[in-house]
Structure 1
Amino acid sequence: MRFSSKTEYGMRAMVELAKRYGNGLTSLADIARREKISQPYLERLVAKLREDGLVEGTKGVKGGYRLTKKPASISLFEIIEALEGPIVIFHCLADNTKIVCTHRSCLTKKVWFKIQDEIVSVLRTTKLSDIV
């Protein structure tokens, strides 16, 4: 399993916002510069985080972004799902799958469910504040 650059860069942006929590707005230009992320790419990522209610922003010269809640209230699971969509390690585990498992693959499905549940559990219990 491998997360995309969306998760890597989006998480880095969220960490930057968490470091500045309670200190006003942070510009995307500042985050892009500090984290060496393309600003247009960062804008697309932050738009997804905003749509999911994790960040809020203000436009203008003195504009920027901030977290909508305390870093201790934001799980890594929420961030990754906002950026990537549902966390599914195999397509056959997705809720909306049309893949029909054969007898052989269903024998392994229990193991994949357990692995996925463990990953999701760690992501749900790990808060943004744990990594800042």
Structure 2
Amino acid sequence: MKISTKGRYGLTIMMELASKFGEGPTSLKSIAEKNQLSEHYLEQLIAPLRNAGLVKSIRGAYGGYILSRQPEDITAGDIIRVLEGPISPVDFTDEDDPAKRDLWIRIKNSIAEVLDSTTLANLITYQDEGKNENFMFYI
């Protein structure tokens, strides 16, 4: 499964709204400018997020968007499913080999577990705690 720009930019929108949670509405224009993204494309992505009840729109001169729930209550899985559809690495049928089908189901469940256990609050407070192996080679 490859996450498209819809999913990646949708996460960007939601992380920006989470980082401003409680401060009032945020405009898509400011999100687009800060992240060097197309405002028009973000407008296409915000509609399904609003329809799914993940964001609320605020009208007016100082309007924009806010999260409909606390950042701790919205997961990456919620966002990806709205924008990308069901999480599945491949389409398979009951006629597929049971061993292969079991592998695809385990992969799907692993991806879903990571997405569903990662909240917006986790994403905006993430700090790299040495998880990336950086090797130093001396010659």
Work out whether the TM-score is over 0.5.
Answer: yes
Distance 2:95 2:22 in 1: 49
User: Unaligned stretches of 5+ in structure 2?
Assistant: 125-139
Q: Residue 39 of structure 1: CA displacement?
A: 0.7
Distance 1:101 1:52 in 2: 34
> SS in structure 2 opposite 1:111?
helix
The answer to whether the aligner puts 1:101 opposite 2:92 as a matched pair is no
The answer to whether the aligner puts 1:129 opposite 2:121 as a matched pair is yes
**Cα RMSD (Å):** 1.2
Matched residues, number = 124
Q: Which structure has the greater CA radius of gyration?
A: 2
Distance 1:85 1:110 in 2: 21
Distance 2:121 2:32 in 1: 21
Distance 2:117 2:56 in 1: 23
Deviations 1:106-127 (A, max 9, x none): 3211011011111101111111
The answer to whether the aligner puts 1:25 opposite 2:22 as a matched pair is no
Within 5 Å, which residues of 2 pair with 1:1-132? 1-92=1-92, 99=93, 101-102=95-96, 105-132=97-124
Q: Residue 46 of structure 1: CA displacement?
A: 0.6
Kindly report structure 1 stretches of 4+ aligned residues shifted beyond 3 Å: none
Q: Residue 14 of structure 1: CA displacement?
A: 0.6
The structure in which a higher percent of residues are helix is: 1
Deviations 1:70-128 (A, max 9, x none): 10110110010111111111111xxxxxx5524xx332110110111111011111111
> SS in structure 2 opposite 1:91?
coil
What's the % identity of the aligned pairs? 39
Distance 1:72 1:13 in 2: 16
